[in-house]
Amino acid sequence: MKRKSFEEPARLARSIAVGLLCALGLSSRALTQDLEVPRFSVRGFGTLAATTHDAEGIEFRRSSDQADGVGEGDVDLATDSQAGLQLNLKLATHFDAVVQGVTRMHSDGKWTPRVSQGFVRYSPDEALVIRAGRVGYDIYLLAESRQVGYSYVTLRPSLEFYGMVTNDEVDGADASVTMRVGPGLARARVFGGEGSSDTAFMDGTNTETVGQVLGTCFDYLYRGWTARVALLRFRFDADPGIAPLLGALRATGSPQAAAIADSLGHDEYESLGVQLGVAYEEGPLQALLLYGGATSNSIAVPEFSKYYAQVGYRVRQWTPFLSYASSRDRNPVRGTGLPDIPQLAPLEAAVRRVQLSSRSTQHTVSAGARFDLSEHVDFKVQIDRTSLEDTSLVFDHRNPPGGPANMTVLAASIDFVF
């Protein structure tokens, strides 16, 4: 796997922001079409959350890039907490720029702020929008960004649906076109660039896989309805360090072991994903249905089907909600078929480890409520009942590890924006 630091683009984005600020001088307001709109603005968001659960030997994580989870009976403030700051700059009539930094627990266990967005946007007439830099891509139908807890009803995005997606931005560009079609609006968007995926492992190690992302997304909006079809391709170089394993598998002479080696032995891994979604949001009712699926060219990259359903109903300041999420790996973990002897055990273990690091077969039923304390602050409580089957989303410290388990996760949070 190709490794790359986040720091280089982060520094670049910071430099761009500083340069733009200098170029704009000290004026903080700009005349745009006779309206005196702010030339730059600073906004922020954050979530402070306490999380606990009851499953012995399990560490619960919010996503697979978190280095640490919360243990049984512990109350942890790190799992669901995060904060961010965003700077918007109006450059000219049709140009503006956005830089956003977020701090949360990363795969190295640190909370170092990272640039989650940093782009220049060109929009001549609102129908066409072109952005270049670090841009987010569309995987959230109702919330757009999972970092901003205040913007959605639930306490956290579904683990089953989003837990394996660790970085939802690309260093590249996107373009979207919006037009009236029939009674509603149709929007098409294409995006591409360099993306990455972080994974933290139970032994304290972590990897960052960097590859090429290409995707497209079609939305149709009519009153409270939004329908979406999205396609995503993620290509990344295979880890050269896997070569000795491939050689050893082929050297056994076993056809099954050789087939495993062939599946692992691509120069480039490719994952193709699709997402279908329908959301309804009008008046006090908010409902969401999502399907996600992915195929790949190697057993090292997961193939899965995911489902998510959510409904919430506002009653004054309260919005109680229910959700169900399911993720299922399409293929069983493949073995080498080699004889069960101590000399070949490391080979078998290595093949299993490659596959097990990205398993996500589990499902969750959640219930909770959001209470709006003010126009910029909310309070949430959520309880999740999760059935674990074969998953790396949690850290499993049981002896022996693996196998089904049930866990109840309880969390409370305060979200704010300014």
Partner 1 sequence: MQRILITLALCLLTFGAADANEPASIVVIVNPASGIDKLSRDEVIDIFLGRYRKLPSGRVAMPIDMENPNADRARFYQLLVNKSPTEISSYWARLVFSGKSSPPFQVPDAQTAVELVQSNPNAIAYVDRASLNSRVKVVLEIKP
- With CB under 8 A as the contact rule, the residue among 40, 60, 150, 321 that binds partner 1 is 150
Tokens matching residue 39: 């030339």
Q: Is 393 in contact with 326 (CB distance < 8 Å)?
A: no
Q: How far is the CB of 416 from partner 1 (least distance, A)?
A: 10
Which among 209-217, 228-236, 299-307, 372-380 is the span making contact with partner 1, rule CB under 8 A? 372-380
- With CB under 8 A as the contact rule, the residue among 57, 68, 88, 278 that binds partner 1 is 88
The CB-side HSE value for 144 (13 A sphere, CA atoms) comes to: 7
Which residue number, 372 or 389, has a Cβ lying nearer to partner 1?
A: 372
Q: How far is the CB of 136 from partner 1 (least distance, A)?
A: 6
- Using the structure block, give the residue that is written with the tokens 């098409």: 188
Which among 19-27, 59-67, 194-202, 222-230 is the span making contact with partner 1, rule CB under 8 A? 222-230
* Rounded Cα distance, 46 and 377, in Å: 10
Residue 121: alpha-carbon gap to chain centroid:
23
Which residue number, 204 or 284, has a Cβ lying nearer to partner 1?
A: 284
Which residue number, 236 or 321, has a Cβ lying nearer to partner 1?
A: 321
- With CB under 8 A as the contact rule, the residue among 240, 284, 337, 402 that binds partner 1 is 284
- With CB under 8 A as the contact rule, the residue among 22, 125, 341, 342 that binds partner 1 is 125
As a whole number of angstroms, the longest Cα–Cα distance in the chain is 80
Residue 371: alpha-carbon gap to chain centroid:
25
Beta strands in 91-204 (DSSP E): 95-103, 114-122, 128-136, 169-181, 184-200
87: nearest Cα among 161, 35, 24: 24
- With CB under 8 A as the contact rule, the residue among 131, 228, 306, 380 that binds partner 1 is 131
- With CB under 8 A as the contact rule, the residue among 253, 375, 399, 400 that binds partner 1 is 375
Q: Is 110 in the site for partner 1 (CB under 8 A)?
A: no
Which among 125-133, 156-164, 196-204, 348-356 is the span making contact with partner 1, rule CB under 8 A? 125-133
173: nearest Cα among 134, 227, 206: 134
The H-assigned helical ranges of 151-273 are 159-162, 243-251, 255-264
- Hey, what amino acid is at 189? R
Q: Is 348 in contact with 262 (CB distance < 8 Å)?
A: no
Q: How far is the CB of 367 from partner 1 (least distance, A)?
A: 20
Neighbouring CB atoms inside 10 A of 19's CB total: 10
- Hey, what amino acid is at 84? G
Subset of residues 183 to 202 that bind partner 1, contact rule: CB under 8 A: 183-185
Size of the site for partner 1 (CB under 8 A): 50
Subset of residues 1 to 60 that bind partner 1, contact rule: CB under 8 A: 33-35, 37, 43, 45
* Rounded Cα distance, 7 and 159, in Å: 27
Subset of residues 232 to 271 that bind partner 1, contact rule: CB under 8 A: none
Burial of 22 (0-12, 13-18, 19+ CB in 10 A): exposed
- With CB under 8 A as the contact rule, the residue among 54, 56, 74, 282 that binds partner 1 is 282
CA angle 280, 273, 4 (to 5 degrees): 115
* Rounded Cα distance, 52 and 412, in Å: 9
Which among 10-18, 51-59, 118-126, 209-217 is the span making contact with partner 1, rule CB under 8 A? 118-126
- With CB under 8 A as the contact rule, the residue among 82, 147, 158, 364 that binds partner 1 is 147
Subset of residues 287 to 316 that bind partner 1, contact rule: CB under 8 A: 314
- With CB under 8 A as the contact rule, the residue among 28, 317, 331, 408 that binds partner 1 is 317
Q: How far is the CB of 9 from partner 1 (least distance, A)?
A: 16
* Rounded Cα distance, 236 and 241, in Å: 14
* Rounded Cα distance, 68 and 61, in Å: 7
Could you list the residues that contact partner 1 (CB under 8 A)?
Answer: 33-35, 37, 43, 45, 84, 86, 88, 96, 98, 100, 117, 119, 121, 125-127, 131, 135-136, 142-145, 147-148, 150-152, 178, 180, 183-185, 221-224, 282-284, 314, 317, 372, 374-376, 378, 417
